[in-house]
Amino acid sequence: MQYTRLGRTALQVSRLCLGTLNLGVNLPKPDSFALLDTALDEGVNFVDTADQYGWQVHRGWTEELLGEWFAQGGRRREKMVLGTKVFTPMSDWPNEGGLSARHIISACEASLRRLGTDWIDLYQMHHVDRSAPWEEVWQAMELLVQQGKVRYVGSSNFAGWHLVAAQEAANRRHFLGLVSEQSCYNLVRRHVELELIPAAQAYGIGVVAWSPLHGGLLGGALRKLAEGTAVKTARGRAMNAMPTLEATVGEYEQLCGAHGLDPAEAAMGWVLSRPGVTSMVIGPRTEEHLRGALRTLEQELDPGLLEELEKLFPPVGNGGPGPEAWAW
């Protein structure tokens, strides 16, 4: 396993982060526990969840499942860097969502109970709350850190200017502030290259990429649809993009085949090769999916393949960061 520091901190995390959207929902609990154990055995020490995950059963279900897994012992909790998130409404009642100080603190305490742990390593704001002043947000986060309930604070789905505003407000309070930003980043969705990643690099904020396969679109989608084996690919983000990208995806799958690569492994390898990316969230449903992700750490994509990928999935604008991406 490869490890790296999370942003500018001394905390070491694996370059693969185990996402938990499938656990206990698309994967039965015993299989979920087995997958978590395999990931831990392979050196994955970074797991990501959110208070709303498992909403198909009930909000908080996935945190409860992780709590049961930690409770099995074997220093599972101590070995894992645990990330969860706050923002999404946990009910229809007022003040049970967003980033008010009240909700941040109460949501953290509820997550701790569900997870059966005394602390959260990385407490992430799942989305920016445009109605919440940063002074209020940081007041709540500082209290949780002082109480020992949270070690580090991160964000998710922020824009570049949100990172700047958040971090400058934290700096004024002499608080560590953001150490990570979790963003959608893959060959199809490259918008974060414009300003998000440059801002994160400037402030020492680690970027954790989610959806490296764009919902399965880059994981051999056409072959799986033809075989009738598509699961995730047959819905959501992948199917929404398929009408406009079908021809490109077909060329992509042929290109991967010519280089002897599985499309999923090529897509994940590309994400891991990108400047500024600290770790990549994977959401395996099977052990083979996990093994495939692990193989990406052992391979280095051929420069010729990288050039072809740039042609198939060009960056936004002129490429590179803004303003050069859209200006001279």
Q: Is 208 exposed, middle or buried (0-12, 13-18, 19+ CB in 10 A)?
A: buried
Rounded distance between C-alpha atoms, residue 61 and residue 50, angstroms: 10
If phi > 0 it is left, if psi is from -120 to 50 it is alpha, else beta; for residue 129 that is beta
C-alpha 121, offset from chain centre:
15
Per-residue tokens: 124:
């992430």
Q: Say how far apart CA 37 and CA 76 lie, in whole Å.
A: 9
Rounded to whole angstroms, how far apart are CA atoms 66 and 36?
A: 9
* Active-site hit among 53, 123, 185, 203: 53
Q: For residue 321, what pLDDT is reported?
A: 93
pLDDT in tens, 285-299: 888 899 989 999 988
Domains of the chain, start order: 3-215+267-303 (3.20.20.100)
DSSP state letters, 48-87: E--TTTTTTT-TTHHHHHHHHHHTT-TTHHHH-EEEEEE-
Residues 6+ positions from 127 with CB-CB distance below 8 Å: 87, 88, 156, 157, 158
Contacts of 323 (CB under 8 A, 6+ apart): none
Show the low-confidence residues of the chain (pLDDT under 50). Answer: none
Catalytic residue status for 53: yes
CA separation, residue 221 to residues 188, 237, 265, 297 (Å)? 14, 12, 13, 22
Residues 6+ apart with CB under 8 A from 108: 86, 120, 123, 144, 149, 150
ω into 323 cis (within 30 of 0): yes
193's tokens: 């290259």
- pTM as predicted: 0.92
CB 126 within 8 A of CB 87: yes
Residue 181 has φ and ψ, to the nearest 5°, of -135, 125
Task: State the angle between helix axes of 61-70 and 29-41 in degrees (0 to 180), rounded to the nearest 10.
Answer: 60
Tokens representing residue 8 in the block: 């500018």
Q: What is the pLDDT of residues 254-265, one digit of tens each?
A: 999 999 999 999
